[in-house]
A and B are shown apart, each in its own frame.
Chain A
């Protein structure tokens, strides 16, 4: 068995059935081995960035390992944005690249780049395989490492001669992974019992730990008022009575208010990112902090916790659930207060009532949320539409909401939706995108067509880079700079060129029919939604500002529009 065949054998053993890749010179031995393999489905994307982001979307939607493959040089460099995206959001991913033959490394050979060196900062770990005998052990270790503790991408760079070399070495299942610390929760429970205004703050770590169910039980048994980060959306479920929604820069007034007022903040599976906390000096000023996470390096990184607990979130949440089920917290007054804020300080958006009025982003998303099936997966891109999805779509599970949180990668959504559809072939998968983001990986429409994936594409087109325009308006004296996209291509014609049917809507009375049409269609379809250019995402906290200083002109805008319509 040669190195390339070992890779496929390892895939079989680890039940890896779907990989995303693009062939080329130095990775050719692996593609040659794939010819004789019937167990691994290789998905050919049209750009290596598409491969990496599709693998990321596959991993997020399924909870399994995402795998992407590319050749050396430009193949590897094209993967980088996708791998950085996975790294920032802790997506479990295995990256395999071909490298020039060992004897040519360091000679500036054709398609040679120092992949190991240039990717050190965006991987959980990486390897340059020096002999075929090392390969089986490295593969097993990489697959385990990518998915353990705080997950992340692990990159294996393999010279072509290693892929071709015969080896009889079998994997030995050696594990150098450190044991998780078993935490003592007595102090955390005591602090929760004595708090008058405790608040639950959860993030993407819940689903990364496969702790969605444990979290739901804990949230219900404790009855703690709860806020979520962008990546924690869906943790409490759409029917939770205690969920105050997303906090932070575009968070709800209710969530930010509760953080401001709470006397204990229980942070689980979150890293206190600046987009969530705003200026740290003004964040949770009255609260003691309990920080529970899988990653010890997140403890006391930005805020000193009164109590920091590293461990397996699933086990911790189960133990906490038992405690609070037996003896519930007595915080009814605080719960009532949070309920009031929830009623008055949730995300506001007027549904358009005037049939001929232009479509607005929030109203469109609210309508989509009402019509789409419960198990719909939405892969969004980056910008205003991403925040409108976060604010106005009701998600019942965190794996239904695929969003590029840490890196903020425009172009994430379309390939991520492809990956998600492979992970969940029987579910509705939507890519909700903006006109800017869509053009960053539009070539992947060819992948949708090739595999006949029923992914639905929704472009919310305001003919500009809306989030940049909004910040230029609010914080740069309305000096618009390089945001105009009014020369966008005809998206309907573009989709049709890829043999994907498409339709365009531009008035409020067309929204319901447009959404129903694409959802009912059996194959891929694109809905081009022309929306108002100057709509802003409200509320907003000025970058670097405190969450207390939210700007919210929702009501004023709504009143203005009503006046105009009248």
Chain B
């Protein structure tokens, strides 16, 4: 897959459910950026104090690492990776 910048970083689709608290979206977006991904597409719906977020992110790092970091956020209830991941997670297996 190719990004609009011509990068060859793969795209991943993630759905995320989190509490609608102050800075909830900023917190999510910051984790995506710090862990080495960029947001290509984002859709948000709010229902009864809960945010449902559909994200398409691009990055060359293992996406399972991003998933586990998002799951760690206290306000995040669920993170689902809807793109199948074939490669092993980290850089080396020991």
Cβ contacts under 8 Å, A301 to chain B: 65, 68, 90
Q: How many chain B residues touch A (Cβ–Cβ < 8 Å)?
A: 24
| Given A296-B68, A297-B69, A299-B68; A125-B75 close (CB under 8 Å) | yes
Complex Cα–Cα for A296 and B23 (A): 24
Q: Does B22 contact A (CB under 8 A)?
A: yes
| Given A145-B74, A296-B68, A297-B72; A302-B22 close (CB under 8 Å) | no
Q: Does A280 contact B (CB under 8 A)?
A: yes
Partner of B94, one of A130, A176, A265, A299: A265
Cβ contacts under 8 Å, A124 to chain B: 74
Question: Of A179-187, A284-292, A355-363, which binds chain B?
Answer: A284-292
Cβ contacts under 8 Å, A121 to chain B: 30, 34
Q: Does A303 contact B (CB under 8 A)?
A: yes
Partner of A302, one of B72, B74, B88, B91: B91
Q: Does B41 contact A (CB under 8 A)?
A: no
Cβ B89 vs Cβ A300 within 8 A: yes
Cβ B94 vs Cβ A288 within 8 A: yes
Complex Cα–Cα for A442 and B79 (A): 46
Cβ B65 vs Cβ A117 within 8 A: no
Q: Does A120 contact B (CB under 8 A)?
A: yes
Within 8 A of B (CB), among A115-169: 116-117, 120-121, 124-128, 130, 145
Complex Cα–Cα for A145 and B68 (A): 18
Cβ contacts under 8 Å, B90 to chain A: 300-304
Within 8 A of A (CB), among B41-83: 62, 64-65, 68-69, 71-75
Q: How large is the interface on A (under 10, 10 to 19, 20 to 34, 35 or more residues)?
A: 20 to 34
Cβ A300 vs Cβ B64 within 8 A: yes
Q: Which of B65, B74, B88, B90 has the most CB of A within 10 A?
A: B74
Mask: chain B, 12-26; 1 = CB below 8 Å from A; 0 = not:
000000000111001
Cβ A127 vs Cβ B92 within 8 A: no
Mask: chain A, 20-41; 1 = CB below 8 Å from B; 0 = not:
0000000000000000000000
Partner of A295, one of B22, B72, B75, B92: B72
Q: When A and B form their complex, what is the total count of cross-chain residue pairs whose Cβ atoms lie within 8 Å?
A: 65
Q: Does A281 contact B (CB under 8 A)?
A: yes
Complex Cα–Cα for A121 and B75 (A): 14
Cβ A128 vs Cβ B71 within 8 A: no
Within 8 A of B (CB), among A257-279: 265
Cβ B21 vs Cβ A127 within 8 A: yes
Cβ A303 vs Cβ B69 within 8 A: no
Complex Cα–Cα for A297 and B88 (A): 15
Q: Which of A125, A283, A300, A303 has the most CB of B within 10 A?
A: A300
Cβ B23 vs Cβ A117 within 8 A: yes
Contacts A127-B21, A302-B90 known; 18 new A-B pairs at CB < 8 A: A116-B22, A125-B73, A125-B75, A126-B23, A128-B22, A145-B74, A176-B74, A280-B91, A283-B94, A287-B94, A297-B65, A297-B68, A297-B71, A300-B65, A300-B89, A303-B90, A304-B90, A304-B93
The 6 A-B residue pairs whose C-beta atoms are closest, nearest first, are A289-B94, A304-B93, A297-B68, A125-B74, A300-B89, A128-B22
- Interface set of B (CB-CB < 8 Å, partner A): 21-23, 26-27, 30, 34, 62, 64-65, 68-69, 71-75, 88-94
A-B contacts, 25 listed (Cβ < 8 Å): A116-B23, A117-B26, A120-B30, A125-B75, A126-B23, A127-B21, A130-B22, A281-B92, A283-B94, A284-B94, A288-B94, A289-B94, A296-B71, A296-B72, A297-B71, A300-B89, A301-B68, A302-B90, A302-B91, A303-B90, A303-B91, A304-B89, A304-B92, A304-B93, A306-B94
